[in-house]
Amino acid sequence: MTKPKELKRTNLYDWHAAHGGRMVPFVGWEMPVQYPTGPKAEHIATRAAAGLFDIDHMGQFSVGGPDAEAYFNRLTTWDISLMQVNDAHYALMCYEDGGIVDDIYLYRLPNRWFVAVNAANLKKDLAWMQAQAAGFDVSITDVSDETYMMALQGPNAIRILQKLTNVSMNGVPRFTVAEGLVNGINTLISRTGYTGEDGVELFFPADQALSMWEAILEAGEALGIKPIGLAARDSLRFEPSFSLYGHEIAADITPIEARLGWVVRLNTDFIGRNALLKQKLEGPSRLLVGFEMLEKAMPREGYEVVYNDEVVGKVVTGLYAPTVEKFAGHAYVPAAIAKSGTEIYLNIRGKLKKAVVIRRPFYRPAYK
Amino acid sequence: MKLDQDAKYQDSHEWARKEGDLIVVGISDHAQDSLSDIVYVELPVIDDEIDKGDVFGVVESVKAASDMYMPVSGEIVEVNDALEDTPEVVNSDPFGEGWFIKVKPTNLDAEWDNLMDVDAYVASIEG
C-alpha cells in the first residue's frame, strides 16, 4: 500500500477553516468548496457586489530572454505580436494534433513575461514549456511557491481595491496589468478574472497572503464582499461560458471543438496549427454546446446526451446556474445537432429529461 | 445543529413526526447542511404506496443527488408543492416549511419503534 498523497494547503488554510470553509481535496490541494452561507449566496454576491477568491493553488511561471515573444508565438495559439507591454491575454497551448495542453493567461510585463496555469496541469505545463523552448533564448522559472494568487471580482471590486492601492485603476483598463502597492504589498495587478465580472487578479509575495486577504475583506465589508469557494467559482465561470480544463477542454479536445476558435490565430506558426487549420476547413465532427433543461432536473457531468433514441454525447459541466436561474450545462454532441434550438434528452439517473441547445453564453460578461 | 425533539429519525437522515393520523417526513438539519444548497427536490405522486426503506424522492444539491427513503410504509396523501419553486427552504427550515411528504401509515405499530429518537440519532451522527 502506498500512502495517500499529502494534500497541499495554501497560506490561508487556517483562515478558511476558522471561518467555516468546508475544505475538500481539489487537484492535490485542500481548498474551501464553500463557506457557511453556501455557494448560491456566494455566487450572487459576486455578481451583485464582490467576491474574494483564494486561488493560490494555480501555478505561475516567469519567462524572460530575448526570444520570449517568438517563443510564445510558437507555444500558444494567440498572435503574441498583438500584445503590447502590460497587456494580459487568454491563450491555449496545443499538441501537434490540436489537442489542448492547457489554457493559460499570459501577461506581457516591461521586463519579463508572466504565465498563470491550472493547478492540475502545473508540472505537465512546465515540462511541455521547457521542451518547446529548445532553440529559443528564453529562461522559464516556476515561481508558484513564492507567488500568491488571489482574485477580487464583481461590480464593486475596483472600488474596494482602489481603497488599498496607489495605482489609479482608471488607468488600468480591462485585460491590462500594472505593478504597484496594494495594502503596502508589492503586487502585480491584472484587470482580469474568470467570473464574467469586472475585477482583478493579484500576484504578490506568498508570505503576505493573510494580510492581503484580511485587508481586502475589511475594505469590502460595507460593499458586500464575501469569500468565495470552489462551488460558486465553478458556476460563476460556467455562466459566461468559460472553459475549465478537464471539462470543456482536454488533451483529446481541440480549440475548434471547444468553440475557442477566437483564441486561435492561424496566421502564426504555433504548435498544432496544421491540425487545427485542417479541422477548421473540414469542419469538426463534434462541438461543445450549451443547453438548458426544459424539464426540471439537475444535469451533472458525465450524464449521457440522447438524440433520436441514441446516445450521442456527454455532459462536461452540469449545474444550477444561479444568475440565470436555470438547470444548464455544457455537452459535446455531433456537429449536426449543435444548432441552438435543437431538442435533446439527458439521461438523468435512468430517466430521459428534455433539454434544448441554446446560444452561449448564458450570461454576458459585465465588462463587455 | 438544529433538532426536532418530537421527531423520530433513521440512519439515512430522514425525520418522521406524527401529525394526527398522518406522518410528516423531511430530512434533518444535519442532512441539509452536509448536502449544501438544495436546488431541486423530486417528490412522489399522491396516492403512491411506498414501503419503508424504499426510495420516495430525490434531493439534488449543488454537490450531489441523494435518494430519500421512507421511514414508514404508507400511502402518500400530500406532497410539499412549495418545494418545486423554493427548494431552498429545506436548507433554511428543514423541520418546518421544508417538509417533503405526508404519509398515511399502513404498518405504524411495527415500524415506529424501530426509528431512532433524537438522542439515538445524535449519537449515531457523532458516533
Q: How many domains does chain B have?
A: 1
| Minimal Cβ distance to B36: which of A34, A235, A296 | A34
**Ordered alpha helix ranges (H), chain A:** 13-18, 39-48, 68-75, 122-132, 157-162, 209-220, 230-238, 273-282
In chain A, residues with a C-beta closer than 8 Å to the C-beta of B84 are: 296
Contact B37 A40 (CB under 8 A): yes
Residue B38 maps to a domain: yes
CB-based contact (8 Å) between B1 and chain A? no
- State how far the Cα of A152 lies from the Cα of A49, in Å rounded to an integer: 11
Q: Is A158 exposed, middle or buried (0-12, 13-18, 19+ CB in 10 A)?
A: middle
Strand partners, A202: A150, A189
pLDDT tens digits, A208-257: 999 999 999 999 999 999 999 999 999 999 999 999 999 999 999 999 99
**CA of B43 vs chain A CAs: smallest distance (Å):** 12
**What's residue B127's pLDDT?**
74
Please give the radius of gyration of chain B, using alpha carbons only, rounded to the nearest integer.
13
Residue in B3, B16, B23, B22 with CA at minimum distance from that of residue B115:
B16
For chain A, list residues with pLDDT below 50. 1-2
Tell me the nearest-neighbour CA distance from B29 into chain A, angstroms.
Answer: 14
Give the strands of the sheet with B38-42, arranged side by side: B38-42, B55-61, B65-69
Residue B60: list chain A partners with CB under 8 A: 297-298
Question: In which domain, by residue range, is B120 found?
Answer: 8-126
HSE at residue A64, side-chain half, CA atoms within 13 A, is: 7
Kindly determine whether residue A297 and residue B40, on different chains, have CB atoms separated by under 8 Å.
Answer: yes
Query: Which of A253, A257, A236, A264 has its CA nearest to residue A323?
Result: A236
Q: Please indicate, yes or no, if residue B1 is contained in any of the structural domains.
A: no
Size of interface A-B (CB pairs under 8 A): 37
Domains of chain A (ranges, CATH numbers):
13-58+146-238 (3.30.1360.120), 59-142 (3.30.70.1400), 285-358 (2.40.30.110)
Q: How many residues does chain A have?
A: 368
- State the Cα–Cα distance between residues A62 and B43, nearest whole angstrom: 54
Is residue B2 situated within a structural domain? no
Q: What is the ipTM of this complex?
A: 0.83
Q: What is the pLDDT of residues A23-81, one digit of tens each?
A: 999 999 999 999 999 999 999 999 999 999 999 999 999 999 999 999 999 999 999 99
- Alpha helices (H) in chain B, listed in sequence order: 29-35, 89-92, 108-111, 118-126
Specify the CATH number for the domain of residue B49: 2.40.50.100
Residue A1: its pLDDT value, please?
44
Has residue B49 been placed in a domain?
yes
Residue B90: inside a domain: yes
pLDDT at A366: 84
The grid coordinates listed for B111 are: 415500524
pTM for the full predicted model: 0.93
B2 touches chain A (CB under 8 A): no
Name the CA dihedral angle for A279, A283, A286, A292, rounded to a multiple of 10 degrees. Answer: 130
Tens digits of residue pLDDT in B25-66: 999 999 999 999 999 999 999 999 999 999 999 999 998 899
For residue B85, is it within any domain? yes
Please list, in sequence order, all residues whose beta carbon lies within 8 angstroms of the beta carbon of residue A325, skipping any fewer than 6 positions away.
none
